[in-house]
Amino acid sequence: MPGPAAFRAAFTLKWDWLRRQSLTNTLALMRIDEMLASTRPVFSVEFFPPKTDEGRQTLFETVEVLRKLDPHFFSVTYGAGGATREGTLDTTRAIRDQYDSEAMAHLSCVGETVESLREIIDRIADAGIENILALRGDPPRGEKDFEQPEGGLGSASDLAALIHETHPEIALGGACFPEVHPEAPSLEADLAYLKTKIDNGVSFLITQLFFDNQLYFDFVPAARAAGIDVPIIPGVMPMTGFRQIARISELCEATIPDPLALAMEALDGDERAEFELGVAYATQQCADLLRRGAPGIHLYALNRSPATRAILGALHASKPWEEPATAGAA
Ligand SMILES: Cc1cc2nc3c(=O)[nH]c(=O)nc-3n(C[C@H](O)[C@H](O)[C@H](O)COP(=O)(O)OP(=O)(O)OC[C@H]3O[C@@H](n4cnc5c(N)ncnc54)[C@H](O)[C@@H]3O)c2cc1C
């Protein structure tokens, strides 16, 4: 019978072998459209640019932790009116250059002229960033409606056209809304505008956060019927704190299903329990999406790692995308 030293040696060997295996056998750096053409599922994580040195440190610790779970790319949001212009560029570049991870910069039209947009797009391209999420953007804080800036652009579709015309080498993503964009008069009108983004060069879409998967599984066939044939990645935000996520959901008009709200309320504000329920719910949500054919998952991480780490870890361990697809697949 082998002694403890032999067991230890065998365990160490096996552990080292496991660590050397990539969890999804992916690709370090590859444009997102190319990834989506060759890899399923594609996991991504969204951050916002930190405002302080402490925030920056937290964010990069998060990147360091999450990299071990092989997300395929990270994306960095863009503040209204260029408020985070340097932060978005610096953070996206640092993720790509220092962590050798694919990265996407968000860009919006709010408060920008065509000239300033051209300049930012050139700087993004010069920094070697090959993916942009082209957005119209939300009105700046305190303003209710989006106003097309003088000399600027009025829709994500126009921004996509500008980027595609000046830098066709950049892969373009766009936003879409399973619960219909709040300003759109109908799903049909929203999808007709969405189609113009694809016509102008957008090659993948990421959805607004939602908590009820049926919304996604109804939206995808409606988009296909409207001629939208690019991958539609569901965006998932783990409800790690009921009040905070309820506030965010209200802002973007995402519905919280009654059973989830009731389960959260039953926790009487116990933050630990809310976190655990939020992670459990999001993990099940992602597993169901992947089992039914979603091309990947985009996790809204709010710059922190614990929930995203638990969800990605559980998905890698259980591989729901390898299970036979069930009814209602995307
Ligand atoms: C994945 C994701 C990431 C995001 N990241 C950011 C970010 O980094 N920074 C930020 O500020 N915001 C961000 N947002 C929020 C987003 O900018 C807002 O939801 C915004 O209100 C809509 O942006 P859009 O790109 O979808 O705009 P658009 O596609 O331009 O659509 C906006 C509205 O206008 C309508 N519309 C479009 N074209 C026309 C037209 N030609 N005529 C009339 N109506 C039209 C659409 O139906 C819709 O109702 C993000 C959203 C998502 C889903």
3-state secondary structure of 47: strand
DSSP character at residue 134: E
For residues 32 and 45, is the Cβ–Cβ distance under 8 A? no
Q: Is residue 188 in contact with ligand 1, taking CB distance under 6 Å?
A: no
248 CB under 6 A from ligand 1?
Answer: no
Q: Is the CB of 48 under 6 A from ligand 1?
A: no
Are the C-beta atoms of residues 112 and 152 closer than 8 Å to each other? yes
Beta-strand pair 102-108/202-209: unpaired
pLDDT at residue 20 in the model = 46
* Residues 236 and 309: beta-carbon distance below 8 Å: no
* Ligand 1: nearest atom to the Cα of 80: 11
Tens-digit pLDDT profile for residues 23-81: 544 456 899 999 999 999 999 999 999 999 999 999 999 999 999 999 999 999 998 76
Q: Which residues of 192-215 are buried (b: 16+ CB within 10 A; e: fewer)?
A: eebbbbbebbbbbbbbbbbbbbeb
Task: Give residue 120 CA to ligand 1 midpoint distance, Å.
Answer: 19
The minimum-distance atom of ligand 1 relative to the CA of 209 is: 53
Does the pLDDT of residue 146 top 50, yes or no? Answer: yes
> CB of 234 closer than 6 A to ligand 1?
no
133, 185, 138: which is closest to 160 by C-alpha? 133
Mutate to test the pocket of ligand 1, among 136, 157, 197, 299 (most ligand atoms within 8 A of CB): 136
- pLDDT for residue 237 is more than 90: yes
pLDDT score, position 101 = 95
Contact 295, 40 (CB under 8 A): yes
Query: Which residues are identified as catalytic?
Result: 46
Query: What is the rounded CA–CA span in Å between residue 165 and residue 205?
Result: 19
Model pLDDT for residues 98-115, shown as the tens digit of each residue: 999 999 999 999 999 999
30-321: CATH topology is TIM Barrel (3.20.20)
Q: What is the DSSP string of 190-252?
A: HHHHHHHHHHTTEEEEEEEE-S-HHHHHHHHHHHHHTT--S-EEEEE---SSHHHHHHHHHHT
Q: Across all residues in the chain, what is the average pLDDT?
A: 91
pLDDT tier for residue 3 given thresholds of 50, 70 and 90: low
185 has a pLDDT exceeding 60: yes
Give the pLDDT of residue 12.
55
Residue 25: the pLDDT is 41
Q: Is the CB of 206 under 6 A from ligand 1?
A: yes
Using DSSP's 3-state secondary structure scheme, residue 255 falls into coil
Question: Residue 268: its pLDDT value, please?
Answer: 97
Give the pLDDT band of residue 152 (cuts 50, 70, 90): very high
Q: For the chain, what percent of residues have pLDDT higher than 90? A: 82
User: 199-216: per-residue pLDDT in tens?
Assistant: 999 999 999 999 999 999
Could you tell me the distance, in angstroms and rounded to a whole number, from the CA of residue 316 to the centre of ligand 1?
32
Q: Which residues contact 83 (CB under 8 A, 6 or more apart)?
A: 140
Q: What confidence tier does 145 reach under pLDDT thresholds 50, 70, 90?
A: confident
- Mutate which of 46, 107, 176, 193 for ligand 1? The one with the most ligand atoms within 8 Å of its CB, which is 193
**pLDDT exceeds 90 at position 16:** no
Q: Domain residue spans in the chain? A: 30-321
Helices (H), the chain: 4-20, 32-38, 53-67, 85-99, 114-126, 156-166, 187-199, 213-225, 242-251, 258-265, 271-291, 306-318
Cα 221 from Cα 208, distance rounded (Å): 17
Distance CA 98, CA 317 (A): 27
Q: Does the beta carbon of 108 sit less than 6 angstroms from any atom of ligand 1?
A: yes
Nearest CA to ligand 1 atom 43: 193
Greater confidence (134 vs 252) lies with 134
CB 85 less than 6 A from any atom of ligand 1: no
Residue 159: strand, helix, or coil: helix
Tens digits of per-residue pLDDT, 224-236? 999 999 999 999 9
Q: What gap in Å lies between CA 68 and CA 35, rounded to an integer?
A: 19
Q: Please give the distance, rounded to the nearest whole angstrom, from the Cα atom of residue 261 to the centre of ligand 1.
A: 27
* Distance in Å from the first CA to the final CA of the chain: 52
Which residue's CA lies nearest to atom 9 of ligand 1? 78
Atom 11 of ligand 1, residue of closest alpha carbon: 137
Give the percent of the chain with pLDDT over 70: 89
Summarised one tens digit per residue, pLDDT across range 110-132 is 999 999 999 999 999 999 999 99
Over residues 266-313, the pLDDT tens digits come to 999 999 999 999 999 999 999 999 999 999 999 999 999 999 999 999
* Ligand 1 pocket check for 235: Cβ under 6 Å: yes
Task: Report the pLDDT value the prediction gives residue 42, as an integer from 0 to 100.
Answer: 98
The number of the ligand 1 atom at minimal distance from the alpha carbon of 109 is 11
